[in-house]
Amino acid sequence: MISLTTGTTLAAEGQAVCVGCLALPKDTLVTNVQTTRNAVANSLAPQILYERMEYLGIDRACRNFSGPTEYGPIGKYMMKSMTPEKYPSMFEGTPDIKENCPAWDSFTDEDKKSFYVYVFAHFSFAESSCRPNAIAPGLRKGDYAAGLYGLHKNREDYYTRPKRYLNKCLKGDSSNGLNSTRCTLALVEGQMSGRDALFTPSAHFEPLTGTSPRHLKMQILRSNGATRYAEVPLKTFIKTSIQKYPLCK
């Protein structure tokens, strides 16, 4: 087991591998993950993801995405089900992803899947505080946003009818966390293939549009090492979290 907070040394088959730079006391970011990506970064990805969520204060709510040592049920589902064949645009990446995650082009497929677990956790927190059974009134009478990602309850299948959607949503998907995730992956893939962007005013989801009036409290690290809290728009919350994701450095 490797301690992220103490930066111990990993011994594997008689060879010592220094991982001191993987120490993550809260917001101290990984600096040399690039050189240890294949073996170390993949095994540490859930732990790195969790410590970032812990720093932002969403770790308890979003353990269905990742716990301290392994992915939660939603994270495991995404890691197992996502493939370049099913989600080509998500694995290719968009200009705004590459702008906010400079290491994207060096990512393995496993890195990319882990990245999306991380993004979906923050996205779900912005929509529902990561609650699978969340429900909120929609804009029109009788409409409801439901589940982890605020899908349109009982109309989930409507938005994936166009041909550009390789994967489809089914009516009722919002009632189940795994089904909500499958549907949301389909919607994000379709959005990326059509708009070539993760963040766009025409996104299906409010946190990705940049037009939401809602804000979230976010811990911000000052240049002198001190921290402060600030209310930031949902899009800023997600985009800044991507920029701070250690594997993106």
Closest by CA to 96, choosing from 211, 189, 27, 197, is: 197
pLDDT of residue 240: 87
Within 8 A by CB and 6+ apart from 6, the residues are 23
- Which residues lie across from 16 on neighbouring strands? 11
Q: Return the DSSP state at 229.
A: E
Residues 136 and 214: beta-carbon distance below 8 Å: no
Q: Return the DSSP state at 222.
A: -
pLDDT of residue 162: 84
d(CA 68, CA 56): 14
d(CA 211, CA 242): 19
pLDDT in tens, the chain (249 residues): 333 333 332 333 333 333 333 333 434 444 444 444 444 456 688 888 888 888 777 878 899 999 999 999 999 999 999 999 999 999 999 999 999 999 999 999 999 999 999 999 998 998 898 999 999 887 677 788 899 999 999 999 998 988 878 899 999 999 999 999 999 999 999 999 989 999 999 888 888 887 776 766 666 666 666 666 677 778 888 998 899 898 898
Enumerate the H helices of the chain as residue ranges.
Answer: 42-56, 73-81, 88-92, 95-100, 109-128, 177-195, 206-209, 234-243
- Which residues lie across from 151 on neighbouring strands? 146
Q: Which long-range contacts does 126-130 make (Cβ < 8 Å, 24+ apart)? A: 126/206, 126/207, 126/214, 126/216, 126/234, 126/237, 126/238, 127/205, 127/206, 127/207, 129/61, 130/58, 130/61, 130/62, 130/64, 130/65
pLDDT of residue 139: 65
- Which residues lie across from 221 on neighbouring strands? 227
